[in-house]
Chain A
């Protein structure tokens, strides 16, 4: 039995199973259609690896923002769209090649420029230089790898040794300023060679006349110092070289250079100086925008004030505000107002507005059901704080719309309506949507997008006006589901479910509320009489549309009613009210009784298993089981009154039935429809255990006090030691399970060790010692090897 114990516990913890008794296959199929969804096996909790993150409902179309807007990826989040389309694009190479091409009057195609600048070897460049030194002697001297390369030909024919010398120098620097290997080694910082290169670069810089190349030498030198981690030298070199470069012609390389300067300044602790330069890069240099965005950092408000003072004009200040908001995805109305005041037609304001509204809709479109499903307790507090924010934003957007100076007035008008909707002013929102719609052009891609956006918000408005107390809400919600607009927006379905559920709950329809938000199987996880009665009332109504559709069947209403009655009856029975249970179960229409599941709960099974170990020719429906229990009790009482020894046996049978129909018994399904083996591991937390997609958790019938009371009666009335031994043994099992459910229990079911029972729970095992001479004891001790550890 030592092994048996292990098996039994393992078996109990194993996945639950369903059994459908003597149902015919067609009946089974209908039943499965009735309760189609299988509740998830895993419980909810922070450790649940399959838990789905809920980020809130959104009714914003990504297309309302111009995705080509250069700043959009930094402010707006729509899945990984921008990661895929923006951040992985190497625009640095493209922009640099463009400058080289322009420098040489566009004489060579980009691919040839790219080969010479990025892919040629040092030997190629030496050959190219030799050819350039023989200026005018044609291209015959070009190395084989560069023959036919029109950019190499331009350099050779024009004797551009200055350009080639620069490329050769850059090639020498390359190993020290680019990531090496696969990241498993620190970049080489051969200080000596790097310093030699810096000195060589400075010499070449001074000998170079072209400012195009002077700037590039500056970049190489400053970068070398930065990679050598010589922060102060980086700053000094920058300050020494840059004034010697004529920067009348703008170049992206200048911004690359100040990127390295900013990096060094940051290392030196000059955070505002670095942040200012990153903001300049962010504004002016698309090829380094990503790096600047990621490197932008301010420690505190003093840093911010200092950085702000460095800005030379309002455009720079506006960029700084944008970066501050965007870098932390922290949007405030004051920031929007400041940017607007600095630069009224700044198109990036659209991004901030949409980002801000993305946050607000997550808050204001939540319902109590949303909170219940996603377990958030502070929604009310956030809503109150967000309400102030929403009001401020409405004022600001209203001002922008009135002043008509923004670059995308149509978007701002529409957004104003959405803010009204979020604020709960549905009438005003409807009017604003109408006005916004009338201002759109009939043709035009962007106007079409805004029209679709307005359609979405209008449908949302329609849903928000549904009245849960009226039957028309059911019809209207199903109509809404049929719209293409509804199907196109993923948030509609879950939002409608939560919203309807909230409305039904407010109008005292708990059953409808549950079915609107959860799968029908949720009814059985922790049955609630009010919910079941509401649904029974609905099932009896002439048009139980919600019930049927939510149950995903359209069939015999008797079947629906029968199963609701069965759930209610099983629940009443599980809480120790057999008379009430019988009364409910008797209401099951006669036509449905044949299809009911059948059980055999009165067998003696002395190991903990959750499967019926033997088949029985006498199988009973739930109604018959309840009737049998009541009958046994009547007979027991009558027999005891007559001092008939059979009374004790009936008490024993009742206890046996209750035990077998509990969470710990093989016939648990009489009183429960869903049993999770996982709950063995956390019995003290019960009897209601958290379960995902369940409104009130999963209730398990772990209370054995009723079973125990009948075993105690059997013990008291038993007139033979054999029956007394049986009843005592079962009573001891009840006490053992009660210990497992105790908050003080530290025993972990599933452990190979025997659970040590505290003295308070050992009473019946101690008492069992009196019956060592009975045949039952001899038999049970053979089956349960561990019993001797318990029995004195």
Chain B
């Protein structure tokens, strides 16, 4: 962009224009000018069980120019009692006005437990049922013969990798031929593709969050910390073997610790409630009263002063809470890190996730800036 301005300022003679145009065309194709060639797509994840977008959610999509929605169609888990693999939730599709005209990527979340000790026959059956369910639930989104994408989300481990990858291989022929398959990639899987494997899909969605240990009270912010994320990114291979999209965090939660263990996760807690010092007492990371909200802007720690309800859970004195959220600065930092990633030329930059709290806490301008940070650095 700066080059073009410069040329315009110099008022080149008319004979030079074809040459300049040719040079520009060449430059556009060169690695040094990739921003012209890449067309990133802003996107959101929808992770609820009912797709019924409110007017404010729709407005957020429109104002960020979002044309792609990653929608969770089903959750699959293993019944701990019976051992049966079954869906725990199936998407209910409500009014279409919010998502009509958008590109919907159907997502399936599978717990890692599903792939533990699974037989080949069970994998076949799981692939069959999952494909059928995805196509049935996703029918309203995908016109006949249209190409679409399906994404699988599973935090696979060394012991389940073979089974999960086998599942992915088996489900592919059960879906229409032009279906794009993608899989979520955790940061450690991104850093160590040789050790963790690369899923047999067409694309990968790198989840640029969950950088910390949620179980550890001493952790500052387990959703996202730049230094922690950098540790994953440094030393990672220059290129991931799949075309990469990236997901950025856009959520808050309160983690409740009881008896030294993470006891509950309260999504999108009522933040103003913590101002009530008769119930919530600011504490230090050591657990001692601090007299004022602690840590950085993203995380706050509290002790419970008297028994109270929060997010539907009854808490008692002695319980400890760490509130974690993503603010504009951390979102910007995440975007800056994402900008340095080897993303695909048509990468989706997806915010996790869209709901009423997101609309309330995250102005469209923040999201646009984050997206633009990535777009312009590419």
Contact = CB atoms under 8 A, between A and B. Distances in A.
Given A83-B81, A300-B270, A331-B316, 18 more contacts: A46-B216, A184-B86, A184-B90, A184-B132, A184-B133, A186-B92, A300-B273, A300-B309, A301-B308, A324-B314, A330-B315, A334-B307, A363-B259, A378-B260, A378-B287, A389-B317, A748-B235, A751-B194
Given A83-B81, A184-B129, A185-B136, A379 B314 contact: no
A46 B316 contact: no
B312 A299 contact: yes
B191 to A, nearest CB: 9
A330 B86 contact: no
Nearest to A746: B235
Interface string A166-204: 000000000000000011111000000000000000000
A325 B234 CA distance: 47
B280 to A, nearest CB: 12
Contact of A299 (B157, B311, B315, B318): B311
A327 interface: yes
Contacts of A298: 309, 312, 314
Interface stretch (A132-140, A380-388, A493-501, A716-724): A380-388
A376 B262 CA distance: 13
A328 B315 CA distance: 8
Among A183, A297, A359, the one with the most B-chain Cβ atoms within 10 Å of its Cβ is A183
A35 interface: no
Interface in B231-286: 234-235, 259-260, 270, 273, 286
B286 A381 contact: yes
B310 A186 contact: no
A114 interface: no
Interface in B126-145: 129, 132-133, 136
A384 B216 CA distance: 21
Contacts of B87: 183-184
Interface in B302-335: 307-318
B156 interface: no
B346 interface: no
B86 A182 contact: yes
A105 interface: no
Interface residues on A, range: 35 or more
A242 B273 CA distance: 40
Contacts of B118: none
5 contacts: A182-B129, A184-B86, A184-B87, A300-B270, A334-B307
Interface in A299-336: 299-301, 303-304, 324-325, 327-328, 330-332, 334-335
A493 to B, nearest CB: 22
Interface string B211-234: 001011110000000000000001
Contacts of B308: 301
Interface of A: 46, 49, 56, 83, 88, 182-186, 297-301, 303-304, 324-325, 327-328, 330-332, 334-335, 359, 362-363, 376-379, 381-382, 385-386, 389, 746, 748, 751
Smallest CB-CB A-B distances: 3 pairs: A328-B314, A746-B235, A381-B287
B309 A330 contact: no
Nearest to B307: A332
Scoring A332, A363, A378, A746 by chain B CB atoms within 10 A of each residue's CB, the highest score goes to A378
A363 B311 CA distance: 27
Nearest to B137: A186
B234 A746 contact: yes
A88 B80 CA distance: 13
Contacts of A362: 259
Contact of B316 (A297, A303, A332, A363): A332
B286 A378 contact: yes
A362 B81 CA distance: 27
Contact of A379 (B92, B260, B313): B260
Given A184-B86, A298-B312, A332 B259 contact: no
Interface in B151-201: 157, 159, 192, 194
**How large, as a class, is the contact surface on chain B?**
35 or more
A297 B311 CA distance: 10
A526 B287 CA distance: 31
Contacts of B288: 381
Contacts of B309: 298-301, 303-304
Contacts of A746: 234-235
A335 B194 CA distance: 55
Contacts of A300: 270, 273, 309-310
B262 to A, nearest CB: 11
Contacts of A304: 309
B139 to A, nearest CB: 12
B277 to A, nearest CB: 15
Nearest to B217: A378
A356 to B, nearest CB: 10
Contact of A325 (B194, B216, B314): B314
A385 B318 contact: yes
A386 to B, nearest CB: 7
Contact of A330 (B157, B213, B216, B314): B314
A49 B112 CA distance: 13
B133 A185 contact: yes
Nearest to A45: B213
A40 to B, nearest CB: 17
Contacts of A379: 260
Interface string B86-114: 11001010000000000000000000000
Contacts of A303: 309
Contacts of A377: 218
Contacts of A335: 307
A755 to B, nearest CB: 12
A327 B314 contact: yes
A328 B136 CA distance: 37
Contacts of A182: 86, 129
Contacts of A328: 313-315
B260 A330 contact: no
Nearest to A379: B260
A543 B90 CA distance: 69
Nearest to B90: A186
Nearest to B158: A49
A299 B315 CA distance: 12
A554 to B, nearest CB: 40
A382 B259 contact: yes
Nearest to B76: A184
Interface centre among B213, B287, B314 (most CB of A within 10 A): B314
A351 to B, nearest CB: 16
A191 B49 CA distance: 20
A359 to B, nearest CB: 7
Contacts of B318: 382, 385-386, 389
Contacts of B273: 300
A384 B129 CA distance: 53
A263 to B, nearest CB: 16
Contacts of B315: 328, 330
A182 B318 CA distance: 43
A324 B314 CA distance: 7
B223 to A, nearest CB: 17
Contacts of A334: 307
Nearest to A182: B86
A663 B279 CA distance: 54
A722 to B, nearest CB: 39
Nearest to B320: A378
B308 to A, nearest CB: 6
Nearest to B303: A385
Nearest to A747: B235
Nearest to A183: B86
A358 to B, nearest CB: 11
Nearest to B264: A328
A386 B259 CA distance: 10
A330 B234 contact: no
B233 to A, nearest CB: 11
